[in-house]
Amino acid sequence: MSRSDPAPPTQAAGVAVFRSDGALLLGRHTHDDRWATFGGAVEPGEDAVRAATRELREETGLVVTDVEELGSFGGSDAYTVLYRDGSTEAYEVTMFATIIDDSRWQPDGAEIAEIAWFSSAEMPMIDLAPDMVDIVPAAFAWFEETT
């Protein structure tokens, strides 16, 4: 790899969490004040499912074990995150989805400032993170096919 070649994207995983009525649980991130599903980088020795459920637990306190794969997302500028310190990181994200009954969650305060449920009709009215332009529609399509 030459100096001008970009670094390969960081492998990440996330979970789209639904309620039985079709509402999607999103977190408002502290680094950009935008709403997104929950997830983060896959750690060494970890598979995507374990990373996704670990990140969900760390960011919300929710413990889930039954997730279905939505697909992989990445490859565009929307998947490059600009952090408050000015650093950037490109991600390739394997997304999963689940439906829960338990609504006892708590934002971690470090990465997630606020957590709320949103219907598909509310999506155009909230400030979604750029990578959610692909992920959120895929997640709602999964919910419609699953229920």
Distance between CA atoms of 104 and 143, rounded to whole angstroms? 21
Share of the chain residues as helix, strand and coil, in percent rounded to the nearest 5: 25, 35, 40
What pLDDT sits at residue 1?
A: 46
- What's the N-to-C CA distance of the chain in angstroms? 46
3-state secondary structure of 139: helix
The per-residue pLDDT string of the chain (147 residues; one tens digit each, 9 = 90 and over) reads: 445 566 789 999 999 999 999 999 999 999 899 999 999 999 999 999 999 999 999 999 999 989 999 999 997 787 888 788 988 888 999 999 999 986 678 888 889 999 999 999 999 999 999 999 999 999 999 999 999
What pLDDT sits at residue 77?
A: 82
Alpha carbon of residue 17 to chain centroid: 9
What pLDDT sits at residue 2?
A: 44
Which domains are delineated in the chain? Answer: 10-146 (3.90.79.10)
What pLDDT sits at residue 105?
A: 82
Q: Kindly provide the b/e burial profile for residues 37-48, where b requires at least 16 CB atoms within 10 angstroms of the residue's own CB.
A: bbbbebeeeeeb
Minimal CA–CA distance to 67: which of 44, 38, 91, 43? 38
Tell me the pTM: 0.90
Distance between CA atoms of 95 and 83, rounded to whole angstroms? 21
Amino acid at 121: A
| C-alpha dihedral (93, 97, 103, 108), degrees to nearest 10 | -10
